[in-house]
């Protein structure tokens, strides 16, 4: 029997190349390991079927995603469609999949706008973007006081940044913080020193940044080069190992929300443990995986469970199975709201770079270190 085709558009170039490359590695590892175990078992066939991965570089462009997803559905007739990394790209892919009634397994787009569209043919794994910074305020409550200021720096456009910023503002105000008018990341690198001066001048207790990876890195450098002190610097880019590699000691004290960390999840009832996944990933690719790799691999595990539950590879049956599924992988719990399609089972964690090591600081029940506050100055 011919292999079942797993098709995907993932950035191997452009602004999301770092995350897209890891996501492709995670997905590739799942396909390889599934085939090593004999293939994907399909109950209606009563035997396993091998998988073939067809991956295309979307170059971090929405137009490329739309074209590639269209091709994967109408020309390649892929059996399973895995979404791209990045909320804007995932939204573009979901729109095309929706038009064809093709189920898209969304591991890399957490924007609430994807859910707000009412897409019926999307299965989402990550925690929604509006919840990204929810843990920051209870985590840092011991170091702050009611009425302290929170500064939010975001990209001026994009559904992901907008959702994260709006959610952060609501959470901050609910915890008694004063939120300042928004600051926006500039497009020109030479304007970051001015941004750093303007934000630091209002003396926020907590500074939140939600931009592209390079935006967050440039902000850290600009603050350090100007010798500006901050209380807490919380950035979406922080959990990536590349963040520490690019910034060196400047990463010290930076906090960030993560969809997955190896030591954050309990015992899975599906697939490998986090330790096993990390070891296998390192053995295959020679590097440590970050959350983009974990969530792409986990998408494969969830897909696999849905095939077993549905008994078939039919998109309609798999969609219904996804709404019924409640399981835990090394990535965390998977449970979707059957009405809105919101991922309700998965939970975010907070990490902080301390002495060159990424430490888990929230939730406190699973933390392996206390938060450092304020962020130490390193130049």
Residue 232 located in a structural domain = yes
Q: What is the pTM of this model?
A: 0.93
Residue 207 located in a structural domain = yes
- Tell whether 357 and 237 lie within a shared domain: yes
- Tell whether 138 and 252 lie within a shared domain: yes
SS3 labels along the chain: CCCEEEEEECCCCCCCHHHHHHHHHHHHHHHHHHHHCCCEEECCCCEEECEEEEEECCCCCHHHHHHHHHHHHHCCCCCEEECCECHHHHHHHHHHHHHHCCCEEECECCCHHHHHCCCCCEEECCCCHHHCCCCHHHHCHHHCCCCCEEEEEECCCCHHHHHHHHHHHHHHHHCCCEECCCEECCCCHHHHHHHHHHHHHCCCCEEEEECCHHHHHHHHHHHHHCCCCCCEEEECCCCCHHHHHHHHHHHCCCEEEECCCCCCCCCCCCCCCHHHHHHHHHHHHCCCCCHHHHHHHHHHHHHHHHHHHHCCCCHHHHHHHHHHCEEEECCEEEEECCCCCCECCCCCEEEEEECCEEEEEECCCCCCCCCCCCCCCCC
CA dist 81 and 48 (Å) reads: 19
- Tell whether 35 and 173 lie within a shared domain: no
pLDDT at site 266? 74
pLDDT at site 263? 82
- Tell whether 28 and 101 lie within a shared domain: yes
- In the block, tokens 């090394």 appear at 330
- Tell whether 105 and 139 lie within a shared domain: no
- Tell whether 50 and 66 lie within a shared domain: yes
Q: How far is CA 72 from the centre of its chain?
A: 23
Residue 374 located in a structural domain = no
Q: Domains in the chain: how many in total?
A: 2
The dihedral sign for the CA sequence 210, 212, 218, 220 = positive
- Tell whether 269 and 319 lie within a shared domain: yes
- Tell whether 72 and 210 lie within a shared domain: no
Domain boundaries, position 204: 131-259+349-362
CA dist 155 and 185 (Å) reads: 5
Angle at 329 between CA 134 and CA 6, to 5 degrees: 105
pLDDT at site 379? 40
pLDDT at site 378? 47
- CA distance to 8, 34, 143, per residue, from 103 (Å): 12, 21, 45
- Tell whether 294 and 267 lie within a shared domain: yes
Residue 343 located in a structural domain = no
pLDDT at site 265? 66
Residue 377: which region, alpha, beta or left (left: phi > 0; alpha: psi -120 to 50)? Answer: beta
- In the block, tokens 């969530």 appear at 295
pLDDT at site 29? 98
CATH for 319:
3.40.50.2300
Residue 340 located in a structural domain = no
- Tell whether 226 and 299 lie within a shared domain: no
Residue 371 located in a structural domain = no
- Tell whether 75 and 13 lie within a shared domain: yes
Residue 368 located in a structural domain = no
Residue 301 located in a structural domain = yes
Give, for all 379 residues of the chain, the pLDDT tens digit: 799 999 999 999 999 999 999 999 999 999 999 999 999 999 999 999 999 999 999 999 999 999 999 999 999 999 999 999 999 999 999 999 999 999 999 999 999 888 777 899 999 999 999 999 999 999 999 999 989 999 999 999 888 999 999 999 999 999 999 999 999 999 999 999 999 999 999 999 999 999 999 999 999 999 999 998 889 999 999 999 999 999 999 999 999 999 999 987 678 999 999 999 999 999 999 999 999 999 999 999 999 999 999 999 999 999 999 999 999 999 999 999 877 788 999 999 999 999 999 999 999 999 999 999 998 654 4
CB atoms within 10 A of CB 54: 14
- Tell whether 78 and 160 lie within a shared domain: no
């Amino acid at each position: 029997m011919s292999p079942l085709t797993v098709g995907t558009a993932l950035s191997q170039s452009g602004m999301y190349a770092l995350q897209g490359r890891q996501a492709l590695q995670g997905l590739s590892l799942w396909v390889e390991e599934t085939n090593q175990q004999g293939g994907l078992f399909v109950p209606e066939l009563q035997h396993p079927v091998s998988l073939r991965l067809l991956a295309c570089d979307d170059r971090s462009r929405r137009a490329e995603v739309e074209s590639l997803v269209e091709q994967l559905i109408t020309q390649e007739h892929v059996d399973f469609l895995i979404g791209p990394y990045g909320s804007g790209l995932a939204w573009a892919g979901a729109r095309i999949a929706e038009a064809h009634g093709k189920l898209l397994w969304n591991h890399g787009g957490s924007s609430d706008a994807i859910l707000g569209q009412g897409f019926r043919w999307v299965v989402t794994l990550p925690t929604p973007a509006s919840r990204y910074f929810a843990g920051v305020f209870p985590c840092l409550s011991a170091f702050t006081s009611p009425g302290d200021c929170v500064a939010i720096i975001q990209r001026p456009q994009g559904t992901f940044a907008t959702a994260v910023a709006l959610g952060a503002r609501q959470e901050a105000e609910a915890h008694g913080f004063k939120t300042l008018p928004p600051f926006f990341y500039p497009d020109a690198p030479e304007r970051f020193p001015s941004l750093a001066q303007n934000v630091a001048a209002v003396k926020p207790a907590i500074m939140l940044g939600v931009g592209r990876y390079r935006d967050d890195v440039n902000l850290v450098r600009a603050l350090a080069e100007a010798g500006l002190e901050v209380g807490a610097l919380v950035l979406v880019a922080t959990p990536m190992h590349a963040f520490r590699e690019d910034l060196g000691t400047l990463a010290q004290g930076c906090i960030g929300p993560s969809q997955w960390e190896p030591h954050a999840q309990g015992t899975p009832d599906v697939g490998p443990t986090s330790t096993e996944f990390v070891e296998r990933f390192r053995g295959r690719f020679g590097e440590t995986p970050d959350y983009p790799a974990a969530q792409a691999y986990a998408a494969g595990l969830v897909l696999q469970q849905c095939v077993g539950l549905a008994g078939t590879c039919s998109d309609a049956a798999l969609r219904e199975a996804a709404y019924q599924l409640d399981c835990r992988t090394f990535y965390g719990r998977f449970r979707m709201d059957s009405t809105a399609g919101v991922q309700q089972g998965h939970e975010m964690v907070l990490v902080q770079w301390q002495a060159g090591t990424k430490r888990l600081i929230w939730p406190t029940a699973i933390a392996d270190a206390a938060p450092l506050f304020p962020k130490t100055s390193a130049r």
